Amino acid sequence: MDNILVIGGGSWGTAFADYLARLGKKVKLWVREKEVIDAILKQRENSVFLPGIPLAAELEPVTDLEAEVGRAKTLILAVPSKFIRAVMQRVKDARPDKQTLINLSKGFESDSLKTMSEVAVEVFGPGIAACWSTLSGPSFARELAGQHPTALVAASVNDALLKKIQNGFSSAILRIYRTDDLKGLEVAGSLKNVMAIAAGMINGLGYGYNTTAALVARANMEISRLGLRLGARAETFWGLGGIGDLMLTCFGSLSRNFQLGRKIALGESLAVAEKSTPMVAEGVETTKAVNHLAQTLAIDMPISQGVYQVLFAGQDARKIIRELMQRSLKSEWNIN
């Protein structure tokens, strides 16, 4: 697990690349934005996406994507989900056979409704499954970069690959668990961003922890409901990649999805809220995909569909919360 190229110079890609460089790995970071490249080279800081965090001297920013892909043994994908297909298509011909791919992106492709691993199979072919892993869990980029102890889950159909990632990337700062429930980890990581938008709306409306805790519990039931229908295992949603990530993003104000939801509840339009930061709130695109999935599969997903109504149908967040509270009464454990 060395000679690594991290594709994507956003906050999480930068933080993870910096962590690996400090771990003694040979790491390059492909960055699209010239101003980010200049800042890293001159100031050893990603002043656009991760300001105030000094980066390891060994971390090398690069611009020639195809050439660097051809040289790397491991690719780490850290681009927003709505751009990941284009990046995969761009590197497809440059990628050596059996090169390991580790995905950090969370989301569904809003048009195709595919997860990131499903997009990879479509672009690279079915053989990619043995080389593919998704890494997810409760992790703010700024906190990992600040050396806060963090735990994640790696998912793949290839257990030998998972053990290599665990042994190669774990340290006193980062602990990695493994699972073969790739579908569950992808669904959990994607939908938690939708729920973070809802949590931000709750905060923006002035509601407190009672409301947010209720959201987290019912959101996890809703996420599990979709995941089970898509073939995931129930226990995944009660682990680090499920309830762990959900709690972090719903209670933690560092979440960009939380902040977007909060701004909308305070009266900003979606367009204005999205333009207020250079970082992409993954939950916006995922909300579209989940709304479509819920309708197509006839799954009851009231929170996700409520977020959709606020973001894309001009509904008032306070009104949506009131309607959720007044839905028909039922048994708590209604996972099916």
- Measured at the CA of 76, the angle between CA 73 and CA 78, to 5 degrees, comes to 160
- Taking the CA of residue 202 as centre, how many other CA atoms within 13 Å lie in the half-sphere pointing to its CB? 25
4 in Cβ contact with 28 (< 8 Å)? yes
Quote the CA–CA distance of 148 and 144 in Å, as a whole number: 5
Long-range contacts (CB closer than 8 Å, 24 or more residues apart) made by 208-211: 211/321
- Do β-strands 132-136 and 150-155 pair in parallel, antiparallel, or remain unpaired? antiparallel
Quote the CA–CA distance of 141 and 159 in Å, as a whole number: 26
Q: Of these residues, 25, 114, 183, 192, which one is catalytic?
A: 192
192 included as an active-site residue = yes
CA distances in angstroms from 260 to 87, 272, 277, 310, listed in the order given: 26, 10, 9, 12
Quote the CA–CA distance of 104 and 8 in Å, as a whole number: 10
172 in Cβ contact with 149 (< 8 Å)? yes
Burial profile 156-182: b = 16 or more Cβ within 10 angstroms, e = fewer: bebeebbebbbebbbbeebebbebebb
- Taking the CA of residue 6 as centre, how many other CA atoms within 13 Å lie in the half-sphere pointing to its CB? 26
88 in Cβ contact with 118 (< 8 Å)? no
Active site residues: 192
